[in-house]
Amino acid sequence: MSIGNKIAAVRRTLPAGVELVAVSKYHPAEAIREAYDAGQRVFGENRPQEMKAKHEILPRDIEWRMIGHLQTNKVKYIAPFVSMIESLDSERLAAAIDKEAAKNGRTIDCLLEIHVADEDTKSGWDYDELDAFVRGGGFDAYRNIRIRGVMGMATNTDDETVIRRDFMRLAECKRSLADCFGPEFDTLSMGMSDDYPIAVECGSTEVRIGSEIFGAREY
Ligand SMILES: *Cc1c(COP(=O)(O)O)cnc(C)c1O
């Protein structure tokens, strides 16, 4: 099946209002171009320099989403154009994004990445720490960041009960934090190739799908 057909097939399974981020990390610009020609405009990458290089050679109306752990000294590569940073996982990173956004005369949309999975390898805020930070006004000073919602990953397992538990937790985190932000806090980014139907059942508003669309990645 072509990339375009795969995108169409995924789209058919998504309810109206659930956004598809095509995760193109490690795939060449030609693959993104194919997806673009099939109408896809929103792409996810996890390495800043790779995103920048692709941004420079691909159409300008692509929305680039950073979904991978971001080092503070690399924010500068993407700050001029990135449409959303979904992996905001620390105060240091918030400060760095705010500073680079200001330099570029922009406000950058961000999601709070929250750690709910069983593995320690996954990044993200501990929910209780995040809750204390937010309620303590931790983000108030960062005028060039707009917090749009929450992002997370489920435990990497075949056990649907565990996956569902993780997605329900993420949904609950978003609900609990909603009173701290305005109506723009509207995004719940969860669900990948292997688990997105469950994420959608649990209220996801945005799925991030890579291998299902582009095939296996070559690292
Ligand atoms: C790679 C990645 C995805 C996409 O994973 P697939 O299994 O290829 O769909 C989604 N979210 C994040 C944060 C990722 O790093």
pLDDT, position 119? 86
**Is 219 a residue whose pLDDT tops 80?**
no
Q: Which atom of ligand 1 is nearest to the CA of 214?
A: 8
- pLDDT beyond 80 at 62: yes
Q: In ligand 1, which atom is closest to the CA atom of 21? A: 10
Residue 155: is its pLDDT beyond 90?
yes
Phi, psi of 10 (to 5 degrees): -65, -45
pLDDT, tens digit (0-9, with 9 covering 90-100), for 38-56:
999 999 999 999 999 999 9
Mean pLDDT of all residues in 77-81:
98
Nearest to 169 by CA among 202, 206, 129: 202
**Average pLDDT of the chain, as a whole number:** 97
Residues comprising the chain, all counted: 219
Pocket perturbation via mutation, ligand 1, pick of 24, 115, 208, 211 by most ligand atoms within 8 A of CB: 208
Give the pTM.
Answer: 0.97
Average pLDDT over residues 189-214: 98
Can you tell me the mean pLDDT for 130-155? 97
Q: Is 39 left (phi over 0), alpha (psi -120 to 50) or beta?
A: left
